[in-house]
Amino acid sequence: MPSEAPHTAAAAPAPGGGVSLRLVVLPTEHGGWSFLFEPIVLGLLVAASPAGGLIALAAVAAFLARQPFRLFVSDRRRRRIYPRTHVAGGAFAVLALVAIAALAGAWALAQGRYWPALACAAPLAAIGLAFDVGKRSREAGAELAAAVSLGAIATAIALAGGMRSELAFGLWGVLAARTIPTILFVRARLRLERHREAGIRSAMLAHVLAVAGVMVLVYGGFAPRYATWAMFLLATRAALGLSRWRPRWRTWQLGVSEIVFGVIMVVCASRLLG
Name the domain count of the chain: 2
Q: What was the pLDDT predicted at 273?
A: 47
Q: Is residue 2 part of a domain?
A: no
pTM: 0.88
- Given 133, 148, 163, which residue is the final one in a domain? 163
Q: What was the pLDDT predicted at 272?
A: 57
User: Does 83 lie in the same domain as 32?
Assistant: yes
Q: What was the pLDDT predicted at 9?
A: 41
Q: How many Cα neighbours within 13 Å face the side chain of 39?
A: 36
User: Does 155 lie in the same domain as 69?
Assistant: yes
Please give the residue range of the domain that contains residue 71: 15-163
Short-list 267, 235, 33, CA closest to 150: 33
Short-list 8, 123, 129, CA closest to 63: 129
The tens-digit pLDDT sequence of the chain (274 residues) is 444 334 444 444 444 346 778 788 887 766 688 899 999 999 999 999 999 999 999 999 999 999 899 888 888 888 888 888 889 999 999 999 999 999 999 999 999 899 999 999 999 999 988 888 777 777 888 899 999 999 999 999 999 999 999 999 999 999 999 999 999 999 999 998 887 887 899 999 999 999 999 999 999 999 999 999 999 999 999 999 999 888 888 888 888 999 999 999 999 998 754 4
Q: Is residue 180 part of a domain?
A: yes
User: Does 156 lie in the same domain as 129?
Assistant: yes
Backbone φ, ψ for residue 19 (5° rounding): -100, 130
Q: Is residue 97 part of a domain?
A: yes
User: Does 143 lie in the same domain as 190?
Assistant: no
Q: What was the pLDDT predicted at 177?
A: 96
Q: Is residue 3 part of a domain?
A: no
- Given 142, 163, 184, which residue is the final one in a domain? 163
Q: Is residue 5 part of a domain?
A: no
Q: How many Cα neighbours within 13 Å face the side chain of 227?
A: 28
Round to whole Å and give the CA distance between 64 and 261. 24
Short-list 133, 43, 146, CA closest to 92: 133
Q: Is residue 168 part of a domain?
A: yes
